[in-house]
Amino acid sequence: MKDYLIFKDARQKLGLTLEEVAHGICSPSFLSLIERGLRQPKPQLLQMLEIKLAKGFSNVADQFRPSDEYLQALGFLAVGDGAAVEVLVDDMPSGQERTLIVALLNELKGETAYAAALLEPVLRNCLISANQFALATQAMVRMSRDMGDLYTAIYWAESTLSQLAQKWNDDSQTHELVATLSSVYLEAGDINRAKSLINSIQGKEVKDWDRVTALWSGGILAFTTGDMARARIMLREAHQLSIQSDRELSRARILQTTIWIEVRTGEVVAGSAPEQLERLSTYFNERGLIEDFAQTLNTLALVQAKTGNYLQATETAEASLELLNDLPPLSRAKLGIWNAEVILALGDRHRASEILLNAIEVLSGTQASRSTATAWAEMSEIFTLLGEPALALDCLRSSVQAAGLIQVKSSAKILHE
């Protein structure tokens, strides 16, 4: 049975009697039994107590002790095993734990809008531990970023960093959140803020995984600012360190993106890259992680094209494209653009143009942001290579409208043609 002594601690911190806390929820005697661990409250009653004692929890050193079911669910989420998580959800004694896990599970499935709707009241009520608060925010920031809503992502991340410092006086949970927030600022075009965040977590004595996230975010910053050699070194080091971790899903994503950046920045494709990407494709596919699967296939197609396996590259790119209908609009457009690049490199100009026209249709119905601006600018570049100056200019104008600036410097030449 879960240890509910924390409820007594919170009640006493607030100076409340059993009668005052129990009013409208249960009898004082039943609350006393719960506090002593002699009764197991129903989930609805438990959630009502959590809400009433919220301010007291923020002052209890050992806030919510996670249940075994919650910890097991986190372990299954780390390896992408959604089916195992679903088995555990109903047995979780805490309503907040249950909500958080269900939200993370829906994020894993790609149901980002529903997951975000579940997380918002959890974050606003703050009825969770510092670790859970950081975890929930991390998910909200990822989903907001992936949906192109960068300013919502920034709001939640900055708010949580402030609360972790002020309410919990705990910065041990911040490394991964800071790394994710830095990637949002990069997409928003605020490189100085991204650098400041990354510098704040580099060079500290940290846990192994915090070192991975610091290297990862530093590598992405280097890639964004054009320091390709540094980007490759930092990302490869992040991957090597991640091998020692039990975060199987994160390791897979780090490796996939590292290879993607290496290939796109002109690095000589290692002989093991195709085999690694094949394994990653199988891993993501088996777990139903469609976006990861589609992106890995795109990376594999790029590697195959670079190594002269043109027929395989075409088939792999088309396989990636077949998966896009199940993705959020921004992800669908971005992966379409990247696959169009591969198809164009293989010489099929008509097919590349067809893919881009579909991406235009998708992006036209997507909320304007720096992410959409970047996608429009990338399409402008490809249409230039296709000899379609009118479409290139239209895409460039859409990029300017979406973000108020030109995202790809070389695109500016179109304006003078």
DSSP string of 127-176, one letter each residue:
-S-HHHHHHHHHHHHHHHHHTT-HHHHHHHHHHHHHHHHHTS---TT-HH
Query: Which of the four pLDDT bands, split at 50, 70 and 90, describes residue 406?
Result: very low
User: What pLDDT sits at residue 380?
Assistant: 94
> Residue 330 pLDDT more than 90?
no
For residues 119 and 100, the answer to whether their CB atoms sit within 8 Å is yes
Residue 42 in domain: yes
> How far separated are the first and last CA of the chain, in Å rounded?
73
> Residue 372 pLDDT more than 80?
yes
2-16, 192-206, 265-279, 326-340 — most confident range: 326-340
Average pLDDT over residues 239-267: 82
- For tokens 């591969």, the residue is 342
Residue 20 in domain: yes
127 vs 301 pLDDT, higher one: 301
For the stretch 348-360, pLDDT in tens is 999 999 999 999 9
203 vs 376 pLDDT, higher one: 376
When the pLDDT of each residue in the chain is averaged and rounded to a whole number, the result is 82
Which positions ≥6 away from 268 have C-beta within 8 Å?
none
Determine the longest span between alpha carbons in the chain, in angstroms. 82
> Residue 229 pLDDT more than 50?
yes
For residues 367 and 149, the answer to whether their CB atoms sit within 8 Å is yes
Query: Which of the four pLDDT bands, split at 50, 70 and 90, describes residue 408?
Result: very low
Residue 397 in domain: no
Query: Which of the four pLDDT bands, split at 50, 70 and 90, describes residue 151?
Result: confident
Angle 98-175-123 (CA atoms, 0-180°, nearest 5)? 35
User: What pLDDT sits at residue 417?
Assistant: 39
* 325 CA to centre of own chain: 20
For the stretch 24-38, pLDDT in tens is 889 999 999 888 878
Residue 344 in domain: no
Alpha helices in 189-288 (DSSP H): 191-201, 208-224, 228-242, 248-264, 273-286
For residues 261 and 232, the answer to whether their CB atoms sit within 8 Å is yes
User: What pLDDT sits at residue 407?
Assistant: 43
Q: Is the dihedral of CA 22, 24, 27, 33 positive or negative?
A: negative
Range with the poorest average pLDDT among 56-65, 186-195, 404-413: 404-413
Range with the poorest average pLDDT among 223-227, 285-289, 346-350: 223-227
- For tokens 């000899």, the residue is 387
91: enclosing H helix or E strand:
none
For residues 259 and 268, the answer to whether their CB atoms sit within 8 Å is no
User: What pLDDT sits at residue 337?
Assistant: 95
d(CA 276, CA 255): 9
Q: How many domains does the chain have?
A: 1
CATH number, domain with residue 19? 1.10.260.40
For residues 39 and 30, the answer to whether their CB atoms sit within 8 Å is yes
Residue 49 in domain: yes
User: What pLDDT sits at residue 62?
Assistant: 45
- φ, ψ of residue 355 to 5 degrees: the values are -65, -40
> Residue 104 pLDDT more than 80?
yes
- Percent over 90 (pLDDT), the chain: 24
Q: How many CA atoms lie within 13 A of 8 on its CB side?
A: 12
Residue 81 in domain: no
For residues 231 and 219, the answer to whether their CB atoms sit within 8 Å is yes
Which positions ≥6 away from 83 have C-beta within 8 Å?
none
Query: Which of the four pLDDT bands, split at 50, 70 and 90, describes residue 405?
Result: very low
User: What pLDDT sits at residue 250?
Assistant: 84
Query: Which of the four pLDDT bands, split at 50, 70 and 90, describes residue 233?
Result: confident
What is the extent of the structural domain holding 43? 5-63
Residue 199 in domain: no
Residue 16 in domain: yes
242 vs 297 pLDDT, higher one: 297
Beta-carbon count within 10 A of 403 CB = 22
49 vs 207 pLDDT, higher one: 49
For residues 168 and 206, the answer to whether their CB atoms sit within 8 Å is no
> Residue 284 pLDDT more than 80?
yes
Q: State the pTM of this model.
A: 0.70
Helix (H, G, I), strand (E, B) or coil at 385: helix
Which positions ≥6 away from 136 have C-beta within 8 Å?
100, 103, 119, 122, 123, 128
